[in-house]
Amino acid sequence: MGKGYMGKILFVDLGKGTFQEEVVPDEVYEKYLSGQGLGAYILYDRIPKDADPLGPDNILGFVSGLLTGTGSLFTGRWMVVGKSPITGGWGDANCGGTLSPAIKRCGYDGIFIKGVSKKPVYLFVDNGKPEIRDASHLWGKDTVETEELLIKEIGKKNTRVACIGPAGERLSLIAGIANDKGRIAARSGLGAVMGSKKLKAIVLSGAKRITPRNRDEIKRLSSKLNKIVQLKLPFPSGPMTAYVGTLIGKMPTQMVQDGLLYKSLLQKWGTGSMNQMSIEMGDSPIKNWKGSNEDFGLSISKATNPDVFKEREMVKYHCYSCPLGCGGICTMPSKYDSYEETHKPEYETVLVFGGLVMNKDADSIFYLNELMNRAGMDSISAGGSIAFAIECFENGILTKDDTDGLELTWGNTEAIIALAKKIIAREGIGDLLADGPKVAAEKIGKDSINYAIQAGGQALPMHDGRNDPGFALHYSVEPTPGRHTIGAQLYYEMYQLWKKVKSLPKPKFIYHKDTKYVADKQKAIMAAACSKYNQLYNGAGLCLFGAFIGASRLPIFEWLNAATGWSKSPEEYMEIGERIQTLRQAFNIKHGVDPKNFKASERALGRPPLEKGVNKGRSVDIEKMMADYWETFGWDAESGKPTKETMDRLGLNQ
Amino acid sequence: MPYTITDACTGCTACVRKCPVGAITGERKKVHKIDPDLCIECGVCGRTCPVNGAILDQLGNACTFVKPALWPKPMISIKDCMSCNICIDACPVGCLSLSKGAGPGNNHGYPYLSDEKACIGCSFCAVECPVDAITMTAPME
């Protein structure tokens, strides 16, 4: 009888051209689940501490979630893991689409690839039979072309592809890995790791059964959840979302947020539902984090209104096992009709190519979105690089001589597109910016580092820690810094973990906004809970937007027990999350990363504070918050290193 | 437990041609073999085999030949379907596809049987559908 996982992993050595299957003991799944937990367990021991992230000793892993394919919902996430060339420490990236079940249908929970091939290759796994094939004809192709050519070449209907585009081939440290024509595992620079191995793609075609212990129980739980997911709250119009944002921004107090509201927004518009609302409420940084909502007011930000993007949506896009469908496939604006369609631009992409660079041309955002998807490039980092370059130009640090003649001024749409193309091609100034804003600043000097808004080299996403200090904390304290998908004060509210894990604090229903900025022990406990839960649901292969629905409605603990036959309590599952998080931090320590260096850029912490807008006068006491978080985790409060006692308690010193 | 082939096999290779995962091997006119590591228990070998008793199912019961025209086919209730794609992924022969949108007011895509001839009637789509939106229906003779 199955336990939801496949119990096997595949190792590929591209240098030697060899394959090895390995049986994973049940105890490993009990301690780390699957997904990036399994990835951390495998990579911690096997990547030597001096391994060059872009060299043969780095191991790139593609891992599926424990719950993927069991009949559970929202569990179609796959993860890619390895040593990050951006941070020099633990790297992972998480993506939806169709690849996650395909890994398991080939008989594996993970596929791990080491070595470097002499020539471009792709890995084809045909129902458990691996083969390395020549990819010379694909090198230079974009992600969409590559996927289409490979599916044609394999000739099987159930073929799934994950590949790099030109960005990964050119070892851009902001390259990701794409599947399903443009959904990208974007962060940590793992596309460059794939490129360094000369591995263009992995191609999976399998039909193995995924067998949970009790599928009927999982289906019962899924049906119940689906009834909640399909409840639709009435939203009058896109413009209304902006006014709600304005109202939230002006109020001195705030209410605990229920994820059901976000679920409904995602269902109607996708992540773009937050575009204008977020700007208005101070959640989205403007003008490279220097401006405020007043610089990108309603009359300008209407270009990013969710209706603008919904109007072009031809069909909703659901990742595997998702009942919600926040994605969409859109037509291209006529000005940019060199491409037929694009995935609906996500919130992050809209805001980095919108407010962050002061661009008010929505059509160009569709185009930039498709350019990024086809290049296999992280749009957050690319936007961060462009905003950095514009500010350097505006301050005379870069001149037209440096920019190949581009007039890099705020909101200059044509220059922004031209620069994005140069970054993808690593051409001229694009070469300087193709590894993210921090690397560029280190090369330029002249105090330009002040304009590189990042944490540990990872460009910051479009959620402002000056509005929700929880974001600033997680940007600064996670083993993968600069992530908006792990925790925040808002996320703690929506996760509703206190309803299942009785030791966790329940937030006040209404609170004054000033209290968000008080760094206290309770906030550290909440943040640590977010991190643990995130690791747990990533191990299960579950989507953040599923987690937003709230632990009282989302039966993740019950699904896991039904899939595996275990009878673990929510507290025991949270300890698994704690173990994975601590192992990721230990990976960083092993590889010589100093956790203190992950602290987010001063500007993003409100140092100095903004002089206008919703976040006027706000700053974050990040040093105390980081120390409190580390201490809560049982890591040394001064250094962020997991203590021996903690490692022993979690069974990580064996 | 995978399907197995007994000594009654005549080596006609009908099952080899239908098996979606290439689990069956053997020389023509000799007893064939199912690789237990590859078999996914879809049962198409049993339905295809013209010799009653030559193939045993996962419980050890003898399979009987069924005309392909009578194999059960998935009937999908759009009302209950949540467009999650699980059925499409579960299909070992790729005979289900997603529509390009349901129409005005509802632009979710829904699964449909796009390649009826390829369907082997395994019912994996129905088994894996979390909301039981699929029922397997055998055509009447």
Select from B83, B115, B128 the Cβ nearest to the Cβ of A325. B83
Select from B83, B100, B128 the Cβ nearest to the Cβ of A318. B83
Inform me whether the pLDDT recorded for A308 exceeds 80.
Answer: yes
CA distance A236 to A257: 20
The answer to whether the beta carbons of residues A406 and A396 sit under 8 Å apart is no
Select from B21, B107, B131 the Cβ nearest to the Cβ of A226. B131
CA distances from residue A94 to A11, A62, A177, B101 in whole angstroms, order as listed: 20, 10, 10, 27
The residues pairing with B56 across neighbouring beta strands, listed in sequence order, are: B4, B62
Tokens encoding A79: 């993860």
Tokens encoding A170: 């050119």
DSSP classification of residue A333: P
Q: Which secondary-structure segment (H or E) carries A509? A: none
The answer to whether the beta carbons of residues A348 and A271 sit under 8 Å apart is yes
pLDDT at A1: 73
B81: nearest CA partner in chain A: A323
Mutate to test the interface with B, among A224, A315, A319 (most CBs of B within 10 A): A315
**pLDDT class of A654 with cuts at 50, 70, 90:** low
B86: nearest CA partner in chain A: A321
Q: A558-588 burial, b if ≥16 CB within 10 A, otherwise e?
A: bbbbbbbebeeebeebbbbbbbbbbbbbbbb
Q: Which residues of B touch A74 (CB under 8 A)?
A: none
Q: Which domains does chain A have, with CATH numbers?
A: 8-205 (3.60.9.10), 270-452 (1.10.569.10), 469-649 (1.10.599.10)
Query: Quick check: B86 and A325 CB within 8 A?
Result: no
Instruction: Tell me the nearest-neighbour CA distance from A65 into chain B, angstroms.
Output: 15
What are the backbone angles phi and psi of residue A143, rounded to the nearest 5°? -65, -35
The answer to whether the beta carbons of residues A217 and A139 sit under 8 Å apart is no
* Chain B: residues touching A (Cβ < 8 Å): 20-22, 37-38, 40-41, 82-86, 89, 91-95, 100-101, 107-109, 115, 124, 127-128, 130-132
Q: Which secondary-structure segment (H or E) carries A565? A: none
The answer to whether the beta carbons of residues A357 and A416 sit under 8 Å apart is yes
Select from A71, A101, A128 the Cβ nearest to the Cβ of B130. A71
CA distance A189 to A175: 5
Q: Which secondary-structure segment (H or E) carries A593? A: none
Cβ-count burial of A265 within 10 angstroms (0-12 exposed, 13-18 middle, 19+ buried)? buried
**Can you tell me whether residue A544 is helix, strand or coil?**
helix
Q: Which residues of A touch B101 (CB under 8 A)?
A: 314-316
Query: Quick check: A98 and B85 CB within 8 A?
Result: yes
pLDDT at B106: 86
Instruction: Tell me the nearest-neighbour CA distance from A222 into chain B, angstroms.
Output: 6
Q: Which residues of B touch A212 (CB under 8 A)?
A: none
From A559, A4, A71, A540, select the one nearest B128 (Cα to Cα).
A71
Helix runs in A123-214, H state only: 143-154, 166-169, 190-196
Select from B22, B100, B131 the Cβ nearest to the Cβ of A315. B100
The percent of residues in chain A predicted with pLDDT above 90, rounded, is 97
pLDDT at B141: 63
In DSSP notation, chain B reads ---EE-TT-----HHHHH-TT--EE--TTS--EE-TTT-----HHHHH-SSTTSEE-TTSPBP----GGGS-EEEE-TTT-----HHHHH-TT--EEE-S--BTTB----EEES-GGG-----HHHHH-TT--EEEEPPP-
The answer to whether the beta carbons of residues A185 and A176 sit under 8 Å apart is yes
The interaxial angle of helices A570-590 and A35-46, nearest 10 deg, is 30
Query: Quick check: B108 and A72 CB within 8 A?
Result: no
Residues near A311 by beta carbon (within 8 Å), at least 6 away in sequence: none
pLDDT in tens, chain B (141 residues): 799 999 999 999 999 999 999 999 999 999 999 999 999 999 999 999 999 899 999 999 999 999 999 999 999 999 999 999 999 999 999 999 999 877 777 899 999 999 999 999 999 999 999 999 999 998 876
Instruction: Tell me the nearest-neighbour CA distance from B92 into chain A, angstroms.
Output: 5
pLDDT digits (tens, 9 = 90+) for A282-300: 999 999 999 999 999 999 9
Q: Does A214 touch chain B (CB under 8 A)?
A: no
Instruction: Tell me the nearest-neighbour CA distance from A206 into chain B, angstroms.
Output: 8
What are the backbone angles phi and psi of residue A621, rounded to the nearest 5°? -85, 70
The residues pairing with B103 across neighbouring beta strands, listed in sequence order, are: B106
A269: nearest CA partner in chain B: B107
Query: Quick check: B84 and A73 CB within 8 A?
Result: yes
Residues near A215 by beta carbon (within 8 Å), at least 6 away in sequence: A70, A71, B127, B128
Q: Which residues of B touch A222 (CB under 8 A)?
A: 130-131
**Can you tell me whether residue A369 is helix, strand or coil?**
helix
Q: Could you tell me what percentage of chain A is helix, strand and coil, using 3-state DSSP and rounding each to the nearest 5?
A: 45, 15, 40
| Residue type at position A382 | A
**Can you tell me whether residue A19 is helix, strand or coil?**
strand
The answer to whether the beta carbons of residues A238 and A305 sit under 8 Å apart is yes
Mutate to test the interface with A, among B82, B87, B107 (most CBs of A within 10 A): B82
Tokens encoding A551: 């632990």
Q: What is the mean pLDDT of residues A553-577?
A: 98
Q: Does A207 touch chain B (CB under 8 A)?
A: yes
Q: Which residues of B touch A230 (CB under 8 A)?
A: 82
From A629, A622, A632, A625, select the one nearest A600 (Cα to Cα).
A622
The answer to whether the beta carbons of residues A479 and A583 sit under 8 Å apart is no
From A47, A57, A31, A188, select the one nearest A576 (Cα to Cα).
A31
Terminal-to-terminal C-alpha distance of chain B: 32
pLDDT digits (tens, 9 = 90+) for A324-334: 999 999 999 99
The answer to whether the beta carbons of residues A83 and A90 sit under 8 Å apart is yes
Residues near A236 by beta carbon (within 8 Å), at least 6 away in sequence: none
Select from A219, A316, A320 the Cβ nearest to the Cβ of B108. A316
Out of A24-38, A214-228, A618-632, B94-108, pick the least confident. B94-108
Query: Quick check: A322 and B84 CB within 8 A?
Result: yes
In DSSP notation, A33-88 reads -SHHHHHHHHHHHHS-TT--TTSTT--EEEEE-TTTTTT-SS---EEEEEE-TTTS
Q: Which domains does chain B have, with CATH numbers?
A: 1-66 (3.30.70.20), 69-137 (3.30.70.20)
Instruction: Tell me the nearest-neighbour CA distance from B141 into chain A, angstroms.
Output: 30
CA distance A371 to A382: 11
B96: nearest CA partner in chain A: A157
Q: What is the mean pLDDT of residues A394-398?
A: 97
Query: Quick check: B131 and A219 CB within 8 A?
Result: yes
pLDDT at A128: 86
CA distance A532 to A579: 8
pLDDT digits (tens, 9 = 90+) for A82-132: 999 999 999 999 999 999 999 999 999 999 999 999 999 999 999 889 999
Give residue A37's region: left, alpha or beta (phi > 0; psi -120 to 50). Answer: alpha
